[in-house]
Structure 1
């Protein structure tokens, strides 16, 4: 495995498919960047600025600082000289809503040693799932409230592919042995330039408000179909709380 060339733009698609209890499907064009967290790019098109801000991610204290905390909490080795790539939606004129961002930690050999899923809900809360190992399939218990139509029961099954040609991340929610929800995001990797950015923007007009509007609209449709609403817990996600140091890593 080798580290992809960055910065890259990923003009692709997000797909959601609900498989049980009022089956539902929707998809929309997406625009993500793949970047090195130590070299965050900025693109200006006319008067509009497109960029990535560390304050929008993890605990908001900087990628390496926050990743070191999360890795220690998970009993993993801290970053050192590892390369960290971020897959995320850029800000548009200072605004963004990004339901899922992904970070890959590459060691000195160019192998992935940790993958981190960063999940945001529409209540302003964040949660990280630290998935150690170079394998491209993971399982992790769901412990964060995302949708009002799914409680905290279940297991995420995560798979991904990433090379110089394309990127794809699939997150499937299973409960009691059944596939409840399937979600996929990804697309081809292209060099990030003002030209490729302009081309991608033609596919996603109004992107800064479109994603949360789509999510809320689908929620209204499911509610209208009398899908049961699940109560939101008060834990707020592990990125909304102060860092916790495991006893095994304390001095």
Structure 2
């Protein structure tokens, strides 16, 4: 949880491929952890940052969630209520990279939904690919009293052309007062470990000085993500990895999973 309208997270994103050939890389990035109930306040916290309008850095609700006329917070809350027996989210946070000069590409954005007692009740992993598609892996965290238990699901969405559309993901998270760590492991259908990816971030106050520091460090952070994806894809192609064709538009926008207190599904 956060007390302010948003926090700045200074992060390192890393990828490690285990099969069929080892390959690893990492790059610096920064994220915002935003309270979706306080976007109006967030848009007034720095002259460098705006909500739903152009600025050097900005956040636009239409970049996330399903299409609709409702605000993003209500779209996510209604999605959870409709799928999980009317469960009501009292507070929803979003972890995502902001737009930079109007451009953003978020391979992964994460929604955290809390109940009226401040307990984490649901997590939505919104995954985007370079074909302009999105798929949300939605987890209802039943009985959660602290950090989320490890949770897993089948892979349902084409992301990398160097992996087939099978296997399963395992998600792990650790939230500290000054840090946030996210780990995703990808396993093949026979349990073979194919790929790991993670975000290791330090939590900072959202302030103009902190934003300026990150802009100097990464002046085109959002563009850099896309450049890194295509550069690493070229390296994998040069290693002669098998290429799996895009299977066509994803048949479903989201998949849903119930996680018990011990992490079972």
Common fold, TM-score beyond 0.5? yes
**2:82 & 2:238 partners in 1: Cα distance?**
41
Shift in CA distance, 26/114, structure 1 to aligned 2, threshold 3 Å: same
Mapped contact 1:126–1:237 kept (Cα < 8 A): no
- Aligned residue number for residue 99 of structure 1: 107
Shift in CA distance, 91/60, structure 1 to aligned 2, threshold 3 Å: farther
Deviations along 1:147-168, one digit per CA (max 9) or x if unpaired, are 0011211110000122431111
**1:60 & 1:78 partners in 2: Cα distance?**
21
Shift in CA distance, 60/37, structure 1 to aligned 2, threshold 3 Å: farther
- Aligned residue number for residue 247 of structure 1: none
Mapped contact 1:5–1:164 kept (Cα < 8 A): no
**1:156 & 1:195 partners in 2: Cα distance?**
37
**1:67 & 1:136 partners in 2: Cα distance?**
21
Match of 2:140 among 117, 132, 135: 132
- Aligned residue number for residue 76 of structure 2: 67
**1:56 & 1:222 partners in 2: Cα distance?**
29
Match of 2:48 among 41, 45, 48: 45
Mapped contact 1:8–1:35 kept (Cα < 8 A): yes
Shift in CA distance, 173/74, structure 1 to aligned 2, threshold 3 Å: farther
**2:3 & 2:25 partners in 1: Cα distance?**
31
Structure 1 length-normalised TM? 0.88
1:123 and 2:131 matched: yes
Shift in CA distance, 233/4, structure 1 to aligned 2, threshold 3 Å: same
CA-CA distance at 1:235 after TM superposition = 3.4
Segments of structure 2 that go 5 or more residues without pairing to the other structure are: 255-265
Shift in CA distance, 214/236, structure 1 to aligned 2, threshold 3 Å: same
Deviates more, 1:67-76 or 1:227-236: 67-76
Structure 1: 4+ residue segments shifted above 6 A: none
**1:237 & 1:180 partners in 2: Cα distance?**
24
**1:115 & 1:173 partners in 2: Cα distance?**
18
**2:134 & 2:20 partners in 1: Cα distance?**
26
Shift in CA distance, 201/238, structure 1 to aligned 2, threshold 3 Å: farther
- Aligned residue number for residue 88 of structure 2: 79
Deviations along 1:116-172, one digit per CA (max 9) or x if unpaired, are 100011111101001111333111111000000112111100001224311111111
Structure 2 length-normalised TM? 0.83
Deviations along 1:30-50, one digit per CA (max 9) or x if unpaired, are 110001012222343399432
Deviates more, 1:65-74 or 1:186-195: 65-74
Segments of structure 1 that go 5 or more residues without pairing to the other structure are: 242-251
1:34 and 2:33 matched: yes
